[in-house]
Structure 1
Amino acid sequence: MTESLDATDWAILAEVQEDGRIALTELGRRVSLSASATTERLKRLEAAGVITGYRAEVNLEKAGFPVLAVVRLKYPGSRHQPLHRLLEERTEILECLRTTGDDCYTLKIAAGSMAHLEKLIDELAQFGSTTTNVVYSQTLPFRGPRGPVAG
């Protein structure tokens, strides 16, 4: 079920997506609420599952992962558990999306080197054919939604 969000909820979401460590008093000031009203709104958004957590943003290159790649995987079988186990084990696989179309999965992978990436691709190849695209730069970093979609 979709949660009904008002303009204040969206303002809170925009602020905490920008800075998950913002002080409640400052957040309240920015969205024109008291700290207690802001706290209540945040708790409601968390309880409803709209806010699912707060995370640190890591600079992959400075953390030793200068190679970023998007890998598409064609998975011919119907038993996906072995792949899911690999996804759990390999923390360099940052994200995995099950998709429609020719490819079954799209993965975002951070690697320490091209050789490291090649090793990961070889591991994935046991599940099906892969297509790898190395990322030159991140034109638009990840961002969450900032408001409702019209229409």
Structure 2
Amino acid sequence: MTISMDALDEKLITLLRHDGRRSISDIAIDLDVSRATVRARIERLEKAGIIIGYTVILRADTVEAPVRGIMLIEVEGHASDRVVKALSGFPEVLEIHTTNGRWDLIVELSATSLPELDAILRRIRLISGITSSETNLLLNTPRSTRARL
């Protein structure tokens, strides 16, 4: 089901992203609408698959793997699907993004130490189809709306 979102839906989602545990009454007050309107909007957004769940968001630097990095990867020819499949088998890989420009993939990694991150990078660089890479350490995450599971 595809639905169009209006300004009220966008404000509602913003409020929920900042505090998914807020009461419907509090949200209704902030949005200047009735509780029934908020409840109906949330149910509609959930049914449409726009809101797929609620979770706890942790500060990224408090999780078990305090060393995190972004690896930029260049892939030869049409090997992207194969490389993505191989990367998906690494538990240290948090996210994989395809992109355009100089790099074909952007991969977010986690590790418990710098030597562990180094070992992960060496294993990833051995994947057939990867022609070049560059890695940057993430030093701090002052704001994140993504959950760390």
Q: What range is the shorter-chain TM-score in? A: 0.7 to 0.9
Aligned positions of 1:129-148 closer than 5 A: 129-139=132-142, 141-143=143-145
Aligned positions of 1:54-73 closer than 5 A: 54-73=54-73
Q: Which residue of 2 aligns with 1:98?
A: 98
Question: For 1:53 and 1:83, how far apart are their aligned partners in 2?
Answer: 29
What amino acid is aligned across from residue 56 of structure 2 in structure 1? A
Question: For 2:104 and 2:68, how far apart are their aligned partners in 1?
Answer: 20
Preserved contact between residue 71 and residue 134 of structure 2 (Cα < 8 Å): yes
- The Cα of 1:101 is off from its aligned counterpart by 1.3
Q: Which residue of 2 aligns with 1:107?
A: 107
CA displacement 1:79-120 (0-9 Å, x = unmatched): 444433343332322211101112110011121111111121
- The Cα of 1:2 is off from its aligned counterpart by 7.4
* TM-score, normalisation: structure 2: 0.81
Aligned positions of 1:28-107 closer than 5 A: 28-107=28-107
Aligned length: 143
- The Cα of 1:3 is off from its aligned counterpart by 4.2
- The Cα of 1:17 is off from its aligned counterpart by 0.6
- Going from structure 1 to structure 2, the CA distance change for 1:54 and 1:77 (only over 3 Å counts) comes to farther
Q: Percent identity?
A: 24
CA displacement 1:34-62 (0-9 Å, x = unmatched): 22221110111222332233222123433
Structure richer in strand, relative to its length: 2
- Going from structure 1 to structure 2, the CA distance change for 1:60 and 1:116 (only over 3 Å counts) comes to farther
* TM-score, normalisation: structure 1: 0.80
Gaps spanning 5+ residues in structure 1: where?
Answer: 145-151
Question: For 1:78 and 1:58, how far apart are their aligned partners in 2?
Answer: 37
- The Cα of 1:26 is off from its aligned counterpart by 2.0
